[in-house]
Structure 1
Amino acid sequence: MSEHARPKATDDSETETSETDTETEAEATDAEPVSTGAQSAIAALEQAGAETLFGVQGGAIMPIYDALYDSELTHVTMAHEQGAAHAADAYGVVRGDPGVCLATSGPGATNLVTGIADANMDSDAMLALTGQVPTEFVGSDAFQETDTTGVTAPITKHNYFAGDADTVGDTVGEAFALAGAGRPGPTLVDLPKDVTLDDTDTQPGPAETPSTYSFREEADEEEVADAARAIERAEKPLLLFGGGVVKAEATEEARRFATEFGIPVATTMPAIGTMPEDHDLCLSWAGMHGTGYANMAITHTDCLVAVGTRFDDRLTGGVDTFAPEAEVVHVDIDPAEISKNVHADYPVVGDAASALEQLEAEMDAAPDAREWREQCRTWKEEYPLAYVTPDDEPLKPQFVVEAFDEATDDDTIVTTGVGQHQMWAAQFWTYTNPRTWVSSHGLGTMGYGLPAAIGARLAAEDDQQVVCFDGDGSLLMTMQELSVAVRENLDITVAVLNNKYIGMVRQWQDAFFEGRQMAADYGWCPEFDKLAEAFGAKGLRVDDYDEVADAIDEALGYDGPAVIDFHVDPAENVYPMVPSGGANGKFALTEDQL
């Protein structure tokens, strides 16, 4: 969460009205008067700082869209509501502020559910606005009615049913603020059509979190002191940066702590880029398909300092074998995550940036970790990410990822779908900046990549490049969003690592189901380059190594969306691999080691 969006913890004591508060109130007074609930909702978004919305029109949400007609907010019409949610999610990931998506009632709202659940699993700040049948029809099974708040309650940070036109603006503003506060997450406001059509002259106030919502920004001093002593006496300390480091805009503090005290760093997948992967201390990301050297470091560390991670099972493998020799310092803004999956010997509850600054100030000396750093360097040499390119085998997907990395700038944003292509994009691209890796982690949503690229493109700086790595199976789920990229003339490049399989399923079937490939082999795939041309995008096809560089240059140089259909080796697998529930230090490098 960006600094300007981070609210202070609730304080019951009275405070004087600040000059900023007075200015905010004046701005609200000077705003264009509202006349309907819908206009109040849009005014709330404008006042909260929203800029770009992603959605699909429909009957029950139509009053909101009518209010958008006179607004300066940018709206991007997506091809499908799931695409709208993923685009808003990625927009928020890149910007650091909540993305906003809209849908009508019934199927529109339920089509958002996958994207909302995805944002919830990854703690991504997002606001969903859904239309609803008029209040008097709620509960009558009216046309396109769904209990949207009931459906989404388990997958939102909080959701709201808008009660009347006079309060709907404040409700929308509160939902926006709450999405980005503390531990971020998706919020939703369900908007009955009568509420958005009804008259009101009530101007929404500033976007504020509920008075009942609070979180600890600064960690307890005693907790910090205990954690600092544990780090100081460690001989094999390891920092594990999680997605919370990115959410808290704590990358600078995290890097400084690592370099000042000479502590090696592993990351989780959502935290890719928090530590430059070309830095001597960086071991890249750990977990099921993480680097061998990151997993070895986790296995042998005697003090694991985990910051902003929930210890997902794809990171830990078997919890009983995770960091078995380590005292665990766990820094997290959400106390519910402390000792939920991995026992924390030293819990530190607080915002990642603040807690790291407190730890840095508290440390009396760096741990004596010279031999440990050398051991980590040795593991890097022993277990490099590598692949072979025999002349008698098809194009390797890893080669494609590396070729793109070489051809693009360091701040290029990479989005992906989910599957083997996602792992290769994470493994064989060198990430040096946060918010340049945009993917679906906890939910593992195939189809995320293309709509995410659209959201990322609209959130990114004008001179930033956006590359989407997708699989044939993943792209087929949301390819309709290519129509949006063409219509909006968005400069994105989609690299399809086409192996004519749901590749990760096929890999697991070969490894754990005696090669019984059921419903994983597509056998036939459309020609994605020709489909791209039919949409109006640039379409290219690559089959051989000597075609890769020229195709990448042509696609990157094209002013608009381009799709390269790379026909890659269908038998290629992702390694290293820690079998589900296995020990991180016993990763497999080949199938016969599983």
Structure 2
Amino acid sequence: MSERARPAFDAPEAARSTAETDPTADDPAETPPADAEATTGAESVVAALERAGAETLFGVQGGAIMPVYDALYDSELRHVVMAHEQSAAHAADAYGVVSGTPGVCLATSGPGATNLVTGIADADMDSDPLVALTGQVPTDFVGDDAFQETDTTGVTAPVTKTNYFARSADEVGATVGEAFARATAGRPGPTLVDLPKDVTQGETRADAEEPTPDVPEPRPEADAESVAAAARTLERANKPLLLAGGGVVKGDASDELRAFAREYGVPVATSMPAVGAFPEDEDLALEMVGMHGTGYANMAVTHCDALLAVGTRFDDRLTGGVETFAPEAELVHVDVDPAEIGKNVAADVGLVGDAGTVLAQLDAELADADDHAAWREQCREWKAEYPMTYATSDDEPLKPQFVVEAFDEATDDDAVVTTGVGQHQMWAVQHWTFTEPRTWVSSHGLGAMGYGLPAAIGAKLAAPDREVVSFEGDGSFLMTMQELAVAVRENLDLTVAVLNNEYIGMVRQWQDAFFEGRHSASEYGWCPEFDTLAEAFGAKGFAVESDDEVADAVAGALAYDGPSVVDFRVDPEENVYPMVPSGGANGEFALSEDQL
């Protein structure tokens, strides 16, 4: 029998870091002095996290990552033991969204690492800062199909900004520090360091006080010629529209966006990741645009003659059919990542730079703009024509939109909302009035069901003094419900509102609209009693079936000092509207199924 070929995954050469391939990057580690005190690679990992400013970690123990956990035993870093590695990644992701600093998750080799991948991919799609640390079999075993061996750097290469295979105890601290820094440099995103057990157990005399490596930042300013061209485009406009993308929130540019819009009287629409970047209770706010965006935002983007888009990648849920997107507009596209300019939608003027910096440049370059009063009045008319309302009657089941509005009214403006993915996600973003950035935390690009509860855990630990409400669907909640054990153990004061319709609701809605009502694998017909399960976990459980029970349940859940779950048995036939069919034109949104 012929010998099987050794896999290409060879530890010393695997997954070269950016620092190794970039000649301008700093050497990750100097040769340590011989008389330095000996420590372990694992201690270097923990020291690097402490120096970088990490405070809270999320993870699950295991054999290959055990040396790092042993080093954490003597550290002041807070570690939260999650019930599943996917949830550890989601919690770390949400922690990064709310705090603006990288969340950190840990897992062992093999299944631990692969279970992180969904959360890492989610952070990559949404440009969220995240650092993943994974255990790995000893380097001598790599490529031999050892117990719980996986080519983690190979698996995660497509969904990380950069990843690293730690090759020595002397270098591992600097490598972790660099990974932390790169997670927020320029366009944020996830990084990963794979940690072979012999590296973390190995002895090193590398300086424990070595600073976090400097990572080059992209140039924050756009070039002056492009700024001037963009300013002339906006000055010519009669119907300008500002489209805020997630990059406005990631770049902490909400203040600059608000000042710009107010100074020039420009209406503002947002992509879903940018919700909260501009206050939705202001006259200029058109709220979310796209597949389930407001009718007035979709009308505005369809009829504007100049579109200033800041920090958006123009994904298909926002644009609908690209050929029909903003058909009358000259497009000025601002993004910190040059790869996004013209990637999905052709830009008339591209401005590469930091969102807040470029908005300030535009402000300085713009002459006094026209008042655009007629355009703003047109936007107000669209608001009146296409309000975000829903039908109710005394003999109908509980409406999920009503539940969202009840929680919104009962909570502070800075409350954080997390969601899973599905109909409940859309009802939450449509019927909650967001006025602050970093208060909306959801899975946008990847659309990962089960995101809501672990995200609520991460959000609460990032903002312990703020209210946290997680909206989940019954299907989404069932995927990560075990994290209630974590919320109870950590005594986290958060509330989960399950909008329970006993369906995979968005799938059912599409099946009714496009598959002749054939409910294949979308209809549960039975669900557990989520309030009873909450009590079994040690949380407070509530069950609600009618409108007149909502107020008391919302008040009771929010008042409870600890995790609470409210099982809202909502109308199983309720659908999410407005809706732009996939690939359709934004200006041709449907308000009911018969318009699809």
In structure 2, relative to structure 1, the CA distance for the partners of 1:230 and 1:159 (3 Å cut) is: same
Alignment of 1:175-190 (within 5 A): 175-190=179-194
Task: Give the fraction of aligned pairs with identical amino acids, expressed as a percent.
Answer: 75
- Hey, what does 2:467 align to over in structure 1? 465
Determine if contact 1:132/1:190 at 8 Å carries over to the other structure. Answer: yes
- Hey, what does 1:108 align to over in structure 2? 112
1:449-478 CA-to-partner distances (Å, cap 9, x unmatched) read 00000000000142x100000000000000
Q: Per-residue deviation at 1:315?
A: 0.2
- Hey, what does 1:365 align to over in structure 2? 368
Looking at structure 2, the residues matched to 12 and 528 of structure 1 have their Cα atoms a distance apart, in angstroms, of: 55
The alignment partner of 1:328 has SS state of: strand
1:64-97 CA-to-partner distances (Å, cap 9, x unmatched) read 0000000010000000000000000000000001
- Hey, what does 1:207 align to over in structure 2? 212
Query: Which of 425, 429, 447 is residue 428 of structure 2 equivalent to?
Result: 425
- Hey, what does 2:520 align to over in structure 1? 518
Q: Per-residue deviation at 1:206?
A: 2.0
Query: Which of 76, 85, 93 is residue 81 of structure 1 equivalent to?
Result: 85
- Hey, what does 2:555 align to over in structure 1? 553
Determine if contact 1:96/1:247 at 8 Å carries over to the other structure. Answer: yes
Determine if contact 2:136/2:197 at 8 Å carries over to the other structure. Answer: yes
Query: Which of 299, 323, 328 is residue 325 of structure 1 equivalent to?
Result: 328
Q: Per-residue deviation at 1:405?
A: 0.4
**Does structure 1 residue 220 correspond to structure 2 residue 223?**
yes
> One-letter code of the match for 2:469?
V
> One-letter code of the match for 1:364?
A
Of residues 218-227 and 578-587 in structure 1, the stretch that sits farther from structure 2 once superposed is 218-227
- Hey, what does 1:446 align to over in structure 2? 449
Looking at structure 2, the residues matched to 389 and 219 of structure 1 have their Cα atoms a distance apart, in angstroms, of: 50
- Hey, what does 1:487 align to over in structure 2? 489
Looking at structure 2, the residues matched to 209 and 241 of structure 1 have their Cα atoms a distance apart, in angstroms, of: 30
Count of paired positions = 568
- Hey, what does 1:341 align to over in structure 2? 344
1:203-229 CA-to-partner distances (Å, cap 9, x unmatched) read 25222355xx54221111111111011
Q: Per-residue deviation at 1:552?
A: 0.6
- Hey, what does 1:90 align to over in structure 2? 94
Looking at structure 2, the residues matched to 475 and 543 of structure 1 have their Cα atoms a distance apart, in angstroms, of: 18
In structure 2, relative to structure 1, the CA distance for the partners of 1:488 and 1:61 (3 Å cut) is: same
Q: Per-residue deviation at 1:63?
A: 0.2
Determine if contact 1:283/1:291 at 8 Å carries over to the other structure. Answer: yes
The alignment partner of 1:347 has SS state of: strand
Post-superposition, which runs of at least 4 consecutive aligned residues in structure 1 deviate over 3 A? 10-13
1:272-296 CA-to-partner distances (Å, cap 9, x unmatched) read 0000000110000100000000000
- Hey, what does 1:134 align to over in structure 2? 138
1:332-391 CA-to-partner distances (Å, cap 9, x unmatched) read 000000000000001000010111111111111123411101100110010000111112
The alignment partner of 2:269 has SS state of: strand
**Does structure 1 residue 544 correspond to structure 2 residue 546?**
yes
Looking at structure 1, the residues matched to 147 and 370 of structure 2 have their Cα atoms a distance apart, in angstroms, of: 65
In structure 2, relative to structure 1, the CA distance for the partners of 1:393 and 1:41 (3 Å cut) is: same
**Does structure 1 residue 248 correspond to structure 2 residue 251?**
yes
> One-letter code of the match for 1:287?
G
Determine if contact 1:34/1:40 at 8 Å carries over to the other structure. Answer: no
RMSD: 1.7
Determine if contact 1:329/1:347 at 8 Å carries over to the other structure. Answer: yes
Q: Per-residue deviation at 1:112?
A: 0.1
1:396-434 CA-to-partner distances (Å, cap 9, x unmatched) read 000000000011111000000000000000000000000
Looking at structure 1, the residues matched to 211 and 342 of structure 2 have their Cα atoms a distance apart, in angstroms, of: 36
The alignment partner of 2:191 has SS state of: strand
- Hey, what does 1:535 align to over in structure 2? 537
Q: Could you tell me which runs of 5 or more consecutive residues in structure 1 were left unpaired when the two chains were aligned.
A: 1-9, 14-28
- Hey, what does 2:157 align to over in structure 1? 153
Determine if contact 1:169/1:203 at 8 Å carries over to the other structure. Answer: no
**Does structure 1 residue 303 correspond to structure 2 residue 306?**
yes
In structure 2, relative to structure 1, the CA distance for the partners of 1:81 and 1:90 (3 Å cut) is: same
Q: Per-residue deviation at 1:520?
A: 0.3
1:122-148 CA-to-partner distances (Å, cap 9, x unmatched) read 000000000000000000000000000
Q: Per-residue deviation at 1:34?
A: 6.2
Looking at structure 2, the residues matched to 401 and 135 of structure 1 have their Cα atoms a distance apart, in angstroms, of: 51
Alignment of 1:406-417 (within 5 A): 406-417=409-420
Looking at structure 2, the residues matched to 446 and 235 of structure 1 have their Cα atoms a distance apart, in angstroms, of: 42
> One-letter code of the match for 1:576?
P
Query: Which of 257, 263, 267 is residue 260 of structure 1 equivalent to?
Result: 263
**Does structure 1 residue 283 correspond to structure 2 residue 248?**
no
**Does structure 1 residue 589 correspond to structure 2 residue 591?**
yes
- Hey, what does 1:4 align to over in structure 2? none
- Hey, what does 1:18 align to over in structure 2? none
In structure 2, relative to structure 1, the CA distance for the partners of 1:12 and 1:221 (3 Å cut) is: farther
The alignment partner of 1:444 has SS state of: coil
Q: Per-residue deviation at 1:159?
A: 0.3
> One-letter code of the match for 2:436?
N
1:462-515 CA-to-partner distances (Å, cap 9, x unmatched) read 2x1000000000000000000000000000000000000000000000000000
TM-score by length of 1: 0.94
Determine if contact 2:264/2:371 at 8 Å carries over to the other structure. Answer: no
Looking at structure 2, the residues matched to 494 and 34 of structure 1 have their Cα atoms a distance apart, in angstroms, of: 47
- Hey, what does 1:163 align to over in structure 2? 167
1:253-285 CA-to-partner distances (Å, cap 9, x unmatched) read 010000011100000000000000001100001
Determine if contact 2:105/2:133 at 8 Å carries over to the other structure. Answer: yes
1:277-334 CA-to-partner distances (Å, cap 9, x unmatched) read 0011000010000000000000000000000000010000000000000000000000
- Hey, what does 1:400 align to over in structure 2? 403
- Hey, what does 2:19 align to over in structure 1? none
Looking at structure 1, the residues matched to 45 and 23 of structure 2 have their Cα atoms a distance apart, in angstroms, of: 28
TM-score by length of 2: 0.94
- Hey, what does 1:503 align to over in structure 2? 505
Q: Per-residue deviation at 1:12?
A: 8.0
- Hey, what does 2:53 align to over in structure 1? 49
> One-letter code of the match for 1:132?
Q
- Hey, what does 1:3 align to over in structure 2? none
- Hey, what does 1:235 align to over in structure 2? 238
Determine if contact 1:234/1:368 at 8 Å carries over to the other structure. Answer: no
> One-letter code of the match for 1:277?
E
> One-letter code of the match for 1:310?
R
Looking at structure 2, the residues matched to 12 and 85 of structure 1 have their Cα atoms a distance apart, in angstroms, of: 31
Alignment of 1:4-43 (within 5 A): 35-43=39-47
In structure 2, relative to structure 1, the CA distance for the partners of 1:11 and 1:284 (3 Å cut) is: farther
- Hey, what does 2:178 align to over in structure 1? 174
Query: Which of 112, 122, 125 is residue 121 of structure 1 equivalent to?
Result: 125
Looking at structure 2, the residues matched to 203 and 499 of structure 1 have their Cα atoms a distance apart, in angstroms, of: 57
Looking at structure 1, the residues matched to 23 and 481 of structure 2 have their Cα atoms a distance apart, in angstroms, of: 48
